C-alpha cells in the first residue's frame, strides 16, 4: 500500500537533503520505525471531523507556530508561550467572531525547511543551505551544515517532549476558560490590544459565572482540543512514521495529526503527493500565485479521490498584491467541480521581503491586506473563508514590521530570533486575531 522508501525517492522528491553516509540514514530510519507513535489515528480522525466542519462553513481554523522550530527552542517557557498566544487568539476569534475555532499548532515536528537554493555563500565560502534542525545546523561551518540523519531521531524526541508538554497544559487546567485572564498576565499593560483583551476576558468571566450559577459547567469550559501539524518534507522521517493503524488497518502518518505539502513540493507526480495520497490523516497543500485551477483539481483528485469532507485543506499564499486577482478563478472552479475542501489563508509566505538592514521581514499591513482579500474573494464567490495559517511566536520578538507597536525596519535587529522566516510577535498576533474576528462578524 505504501511504497518502500527507495521507490518513493525514485518518483522524484524535491527539497531533500543529500546525506553523505547512507548507512547512518538506514540506522536513523530503523530507529524511527520502532519508535512509538507521537499521535493516535483516532485523534487524526477527530481533527478530520473538525476540518469537515470548517469545509462546510461551520468552524474556523487557527493554525500557527514558528516557521522553523529549533531543538534548542524546546523549553517549557517557549512551548507555553506559543500555546498561550494561540489560546488567546482562539478565544478572541470564538468570542468576538462568534464561531467555533479549530486549534492547530505548527509545532512538534516543524523542523525541516524547503530552500530556494541548495547552497549559501558568505564571503566567498559556499556551504549547504540550512534546511532546518531536522537536517543540519544553522551555524555557518561545514560541520554544522553537513546533513546528519541522527537529527531526525533528535527531532522525533524533541517533538515527543513538546507534545507531552502541550497535552499536559491542555488537559491539566492551563487551557481552562477560567484562565482567560491568566493568559494575559505579564503582557505589556500599555498595549491597547492587551486592554481590549482584558475587557473581553471580563465579559467572558461574567458569562462563565452566570452559566455556573444556573448549573451549567460543561467539560468544554475546562479543556480544549489542540492538534499538531508540520510540513511533511523529509521523506525518511515521514515514511518511517507512517504506520498501519491496528483498528482500521489503514496507514497514518503518526508524526502529527495534520501534515501539509509545501508550495515547492506539490508536483502532481512527485513523491510528496504520492506519500500523502496514501495516508489517512487530514492533509493540506500550499497553493501559491502560479497555481492554476487545473493544478488544484488534479491535486484534489489525487489526494482525495473519494471527496471525503475534512480530508483536504487548500492553504493559499498568494501575496497581498495578487490574491484578489488570482484567487477567484481557483475558488470558483474548484467549487463548481463539487470538490470538498477547507480554504485557509497563509498571509505570510507571499509577503516576505528583505529590509534595507538585510533582515527578511514582512509588513503587518500586508498580512492583514491578504487576509482581507481572502475574506472578500470568498464572500464574493459565496464560499467560506475557513481559516488562517500564520507564523507566530508567543515572545516579544522584532521580526515583522508594523502593527500597533509600529515596529520599524530599524527595530528588527533588537530581537530577531527566527532561523528562517519572520514571525508575528505576541502583540501582532493578538492584533491579527481582533482584526480577523471583525472580518468574521461582517
Ligand atoms: C512554510 O510554511 O514555512 C513554507 C515554506 O511555506 P510555502 O511552502 O508556502 O512556501
Ligand atoms: Mn516559513
Q: Is 286 annotated as a binding residue?
A: yes
263 within ligand 1 shell (Cβ under 6 A):
yes
Q: Mean pLDDT, to the nearest integer, of 210-234?
A: 94
Cell of 194: 492587551
114 within ligand 1 shell (Cβ under 6 A):
yes
349 within ligand 1 shell (Cβ under 6 A):
yes
Q: Is 378 annotated as a binding residue?
A: no
With bands split at pLDDT 50, 70 and 90, how would you rate the model's confidence at 189?
low
CA distances from 13 to 17, 18, 238, 259, 275 (A): 10, 12, 13, 16, 11
Is residue 435's pLDDT more than 90? Answer: yes
Best of 110, 111, 231, 258 to mutate for ligand 1, by most ligand atoms within 8 A of CB?
231
Q: Using one digit for the tens of pLDDT, what is the confidence trace for 97-107?
A: 999 999 999 99
Distance between Cα 422 and ligand 2 center (Å): 8
| Atom in ligand 1 nearest the alpha carbon of residue 346 | 9
Q: In terms of DSSP H, where are the helices of 185-243?
A: 192-213, 235-240
317 within ligand 1 shell (Cβ under 6 A):
yes
CA distances from 5 to 29, 78, 83 (A): 10, 34, 34
- Of the listed ligands, the closest to the CA of 346 is 1
Task: For residue 74, give the DSSP letter.
Answer: -
Q: Mean pLDDT, to the nearest integer, of 86-94?
A: 96
User: Is 208:229 a contact under the CB 8 Å cutoff?
Assistant: no
With bands split at pLDDT 50, 70 and 90, how would you rate the model's confidence at 195?
confident
With bands split at pLDDT 50, 70 and 90, how would you rate the model's confidence at 156?
very high
Instruction: Give CA–CA dist 113/257, Å, rounded.
Output: 19
User: Is 58:100 a contact under the CB 8 Å cutoff?
Assistant: yes
Instruction: Give CA–CA dist 203/209, Å, rounded.
Output: 10
With bands split at pLDDT 50, 70 and 90, how would you rate the model's confidence at 429?
very high
67 within ligand 1 shell (Cβ under 6 A):
yes
Distance between Cα 287 and ligand 1 center (Å): 10
145 within ligand 1 shell (Cβ under 6 A):
no
With bands split at pLDDT 50, 70 and 90, how would you rate the model's confidence at 302?
very high
Q: Is 139 annotated as a binding residue?
A: no
Cell of 424: 508575528
Question: Residue 419 — φ and ψ, nearest 5°?
Answer: -90, 0
Distance between Cα 246 and ligand 2 center (Å): 35
Helix (H, G, I), strand (E, B) or coil at 326: helix
Please give the share of the chain, as a percent, with pLDDT higher than 90: 91
Q: Using one digit for the tens of pLDDT, what is the confidence trace for 239-276?
A: 999 999 999 999 999 999 999 999 999 999 999 999 99
Distance between Cα 258 and ligand 2 center (Å): 17
Buried b (16+ CB within 10 A) or exposed e, 221-247: eebbebbbbbbbbbbbbbbbbbbebee
Distance between Cα 217 and ligand 1 center (Å): 41
Distance between Cα 262 and ligand 2 center (Å): 10
Distance between Cα 107 and ligand 1 center (Å): 14
| Atom in ligand 1 nearest the alpha carbon of residue 389 | 2
- Segment among 124-128, 205-209, 323-327, 366-370 with least mean pLDDT: 205-209
Q: Using one digit for the tens of pLDDT, what is the confidence trace for 364-404?
A: 999 999 999 999 999 999 999 999 999 999 999 999 999 98
Q: Does the structure's ipTM exceed the value 0.90?
A: yes
Cell of 280: 489517512
User: Is 88:197 a contact under the CB 8 Å cutoff?
Assistant: yes
Q: Is 263 annotated as a binding residue?
A: yes
Q: Where on the phi/psi map is residue 387: left (φ > 0), alpha (ψ -120 to 50), or beta?
A: left
| Atom in ligand 1 nearest the alpha carbon of residue 114 | 5
With bands split at pLDDT 50, 70 and 90, how would you rate the model's confidence at 223?
confident
Buried b (16+ CB within 10 A) or exposed e, 348-364: bbbbbeebeeebbbbbb
Q: Is 421 annotated as a binding residue?
A: yes
* Dihedral sign for Cα atoms in the order 130, 132, 133, 135: negative
- Neighbour-count burial of 220, counting CB atoms closer than 10 A to its CB (0-12 exposed, 13-18 middle, 19+ buried): exposed
With bands split at pLDDT 50, 70 and 90, how would you rate the model's confidence at 188?
low
Question: Residue 187 — φ and ψ, nearest 5°?
Answer: -85, 150
Domains, the chain, in order of start with CATH, read 5-175+223-441 (3.20.20.70)
Amino acid at each position: 500500500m505504501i511504497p518502500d522508501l527507495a521507490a518513493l525517492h525514485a518518483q522524484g522528491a524535491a527539497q531533500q537533503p543529500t546525506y553523505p553516509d547512507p548507512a547512518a540514514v538506514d540506522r536513523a530510519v530503523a530507529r524511527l520505525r520502532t519508535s512509538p507513535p507521537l499521535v493516535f489515528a483516532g485523534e487524526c480522525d477527530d481533527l478530520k471531523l473538525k476540518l469537515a466542519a470548517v469545509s462546510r462553513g461551520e468552524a474556523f481554523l487557527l493554525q500557527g507556530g514558528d516557521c522553523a522550530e529549533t531543538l534548542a527552542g524546546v523549553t517549557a517557557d517557549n512551548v507555553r508561550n506559543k500555546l498561550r498566544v494561540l489560546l488567546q487568539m482562539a478565544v478572541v476569534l470564538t468570542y468576538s467572531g462568534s464561531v467555533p475555532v479549530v486549534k492547530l499548532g505548527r509545532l512538534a515536528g516543524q523542523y525541516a525547511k524547503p530552500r530556494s537554493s541548495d547552497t549559501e555563500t558568505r564571503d566567498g565560502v559556499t556551504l549547504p543551505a540550512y534546511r532546518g534542525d531536522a537536517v543540519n545546523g544553522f551555524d555557518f561551518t561545514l560541520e554544522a551544515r553537513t546533513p546528519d540523519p541522527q537529527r531526525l531521531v533528535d527531532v522525533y524526541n524533541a517533538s515527543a517532549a513538546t507534545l507531552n508538554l502541550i497535552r499536559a497544559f491542555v488537559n491539566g487546567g492551563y487551557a481552562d476558560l477560567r484562565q482567560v485572564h491568566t493568559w494575559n498576565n505579564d503582557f505589556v499593560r500599555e498595549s491597547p490590544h492587551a486592554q481590549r483583551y482584558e475587557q473581553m476576558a471580563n465579559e467572558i468571566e461574567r458569562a462563565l459565572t452566570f452559566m455556573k450559577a444556573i448549573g451549567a459547567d460543561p467539560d468544554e469550559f475546562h479543556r480544549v482540543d489542540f492538534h499538531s501539524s508540520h510540513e511533511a518534507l523529509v521523506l525518511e522521517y515521514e515514511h518511517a512514521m507512517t504506520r498501519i493503524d491496528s483498528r482500521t488497518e489503514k496507514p497514518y502518518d503518526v508524526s502529527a495529526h495534520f501534515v501539509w505539502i509545501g508550495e515547492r513540493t506539490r508536483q502532481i507526480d512527485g513523491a510528496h503527493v504520492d506519500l500523502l495520497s496514501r495516508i489517512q490523516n487530514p492533509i493540506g497543500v500550499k497553493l501559491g500565485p502560479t497555481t492554476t485551477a487545473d493544478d488544484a483539481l488534479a491535486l484534489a483528485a489525487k489526494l482525495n479521490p473519494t471527496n471525503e469532507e475534512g480530508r483536504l485543506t487548500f492553504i493559499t499564499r498568494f501575496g497581498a498584491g495578487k490574491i484578489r486577482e488570482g484567487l477567484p478563478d481557483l475558488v470558483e472552479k474548484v467549487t463548481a467541480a463539487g470538490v470538498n475542501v477547507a480554504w485557509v489563508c497563509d498571509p505570510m509566505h507571499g509577503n516576505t521581503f528583505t529590509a534595507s538592514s538585510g533582515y527578511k521581514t514582512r509588513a503587518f499591513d500586508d498580512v492583514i491586506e491578504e487576509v482581507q482579500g481572502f475574506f472578500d474573494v470568498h464572500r464574493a464567490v459565496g464560499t467560506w473563508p475557513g481559516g488562517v495559517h500564520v507564523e507566530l511566536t508567543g515572545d516579544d520578538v522584532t521580526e515583522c514590521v508594523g502593527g500597533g507597536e509600529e515596529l520599524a525596519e530599524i527595530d528588527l535587529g533588537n530581537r530577531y530570533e527566527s532561523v528562517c522566516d519572520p514571525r508575528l510577535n505576541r502583540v501582532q498576533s493578538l492584533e491579527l486575531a481582533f482584526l480577523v474576528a471583525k472580518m468574521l462578524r461582517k
